[in-house]
């Protein structure tokens, strides 16, 4: 039973599948728990709401060690604590691989919800958090550049971002209070997710790569692997940063950085041109 003084509940649900969203040889059970909680709680913060509760469904093989499950739950609990939420209950069943289905619930506490549909021409586009770090960390793991343990330097930061994303939960309600007109979390890729705002709002969103924050680790990893760092920053998902649009004269809260603007038109432009690369993750391709 939920007691919601506001009378409104913000809800989101997501699924993690072993082999698709995580690998046990690359991530500890606590890492998996943190990631599962973070990607759901970020959706709540992206509507300007306060994360409050998770419902957790777990399907797993019958021979999975109980210790693995307990450590995974410890990760869930730890990340819930960071966001100010708790676990209310859930369900368990058997399956051929590990699957986590999580529903997150939050409250607006009297604030208006921020959807994808409110961006207007003249708004600025801003980002809170990293873009592309998780994708770069995954690429480093796939290339064998990163080992299973903790790593130092840029490579370590990127691998940790893949294993344990750190959504800026407080940035969501702060953005709503500052007048954000549209907002979402960047789960599939910056271009793809800004495309959702563009489509829902009927506008064109423009991004300047020179404005993207904290790109030095991406650039270092790109030199190591011989690839373009922009592909990670623009199309890499699972960072669960928050992207939002604000009125042009709005005072942006701490942690938000302007990366572009909104114009009349449609779609997403990168550095003034249509982005010809992959826009982000697509589940059935």
pLDDT attached to residue 285: 66
Give the percent of the chain with pLDDT over 70.
94
Q: Which residue has the tokens 């921020």?
A: 114
Q: How does strand 182-186 pair with strand 241-246? A: antiparallel
pLDDT above 80 (res 282): no
Q: Looking at the predicted structure, is the pLDDT value of residue 151 above 70?
A: no
Domains and CATH numbers, the chain: 9-107 (3.30.1330.10), 124-274 (3.90.650.10)
Q: Which residues pair with 242 in a beta bridge?
A: 128, 185
The contacts found for 273-277 with CB under 8 angstroms, 24 or more apart, are: 275/191, 275/234, 277/191, 277/230, 277/231, 277/234, 277/235
The pLDDT value recorded for residue 155 is 85
Written in H, E and C, the secondary structure of the chain is CCCCCCCCEEEEEEEEEECCCECCCCCCHHHHHHHHHHHHHHHHHCCCCEEEEEEEEEEECCCCCHHHHHHHHHHHHHHHHHHCCEEEEEEEEECCCCEEEEEEEEECCCCCCCCCCCCCCCCEEEEECCCCHHHHHHHHHHCCCCCCCCCCHHHHHHHHHHHCCCCCCCHHHHHHHCCCCEEEEECCCHHHHHHHHHHHHCCEEEECHHHCCCCHHHHHHHHHHCCCHHHHHHHCCCCCEEEEEECCCCCCCCCCEEEEEEECCCEEEECCEECCCCCCCCCCC
User: Do residues 236 and 124 touch, judged by C-beta distance below 8 A?
Assistant: no
Q: Is residue 148 scored above 70 in pLDDT?
A: no
The pTM is what?
0.93
- Main-chain phi, psi angles of 230, to 5 degrees: -60, -30
The residue to which tokens 């009378």 are assigned: 7
Q: Is the pLDDT of residue 163 over 60?
A: yes
Give residue-wise pLDDT tens across range 79-96. Answer: 999 999 999 999 999 999
Say if residues 119 and 245 touch (Cβ distance below 8 Å): yes
At residue 153, the pLDDT reads: 82
What digits encode the pLDDT tens for the residues 232-275? Answer: 999 998 999 999 999 999 999 999 999 999 999 999 999 999 87
Can you tell me which residue has the tokens 């940035």? 171
pLDDT at 223: 94
Predicted confidence (pLDDT) per residue in 174-221, tens digit: 999 999 999 999 999 999 999 999 999 999 999 999 999 999 999 999
pLDDT of the residue at 146: 63
CA angle 236, 157, 125 (to 5 degrees): 45
> In the structure, what pLDDT confidence band is assigned to residue 152 with cuts at 50, 70 and 90?
low
């Amino acid at each position: 039973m939920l007691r919601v003084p506001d009378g409104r509940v913000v809800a989101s649900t997501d699924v993690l599948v072993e082999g698709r969203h995580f690998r046990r040889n690359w991530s500890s059970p606590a890492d998996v728990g943190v990631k599962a909680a973070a990607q759901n709680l970020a959706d709540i913060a992206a509507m300007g709401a306060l994360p409050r509760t998770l419902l957790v469904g777990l399907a797993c093989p019958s021979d999975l060690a109980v210790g693995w499950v307990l450590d995974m739950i410890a990760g869930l609990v730890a990340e819930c604590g960071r966001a100010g939420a708790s676990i209310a209950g859930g369900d368990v069943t058997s399956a051929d691989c590990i699957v986590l289905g999580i529903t997150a619930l939050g409250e607006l506490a009297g604030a208006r919800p921020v959807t994808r549909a409110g961006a207007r021409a003249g708004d600025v586009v801003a980002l809170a958090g990293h873009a592309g770090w998780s994708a770069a960390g995954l690429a480093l793991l796939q290339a064998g550049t990163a080992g299973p343990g903790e790593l130092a330097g840029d490579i370590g930061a990127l691998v940790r971002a893949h294993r344990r994303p750190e959504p800026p939960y407080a940035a969501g309600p702060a953005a709503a209070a500052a007048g954000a007109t549209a907002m979402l979390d960047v789960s599939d890729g910056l271009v793809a997710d800004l495309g959702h705002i563009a489509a829902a709002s009927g506008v064109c969103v423009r991004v300047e790569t020179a404005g993207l924050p904290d790109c030095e680790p991406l650039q270092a990893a790109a030199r190591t692997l011989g690839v373009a760092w922009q592909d990670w920053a623009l199309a890499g998902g699972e960072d669960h940063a928050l992207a939002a649009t604000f009125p042009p004269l709005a005072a942006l809260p701490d942690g938000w950085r302007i990366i572009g603007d909104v114009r009349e038109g449609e779609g997403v432009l990168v550095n003034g041109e249509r982005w010809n690369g992959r826009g982000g993750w697509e589940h059935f391709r």
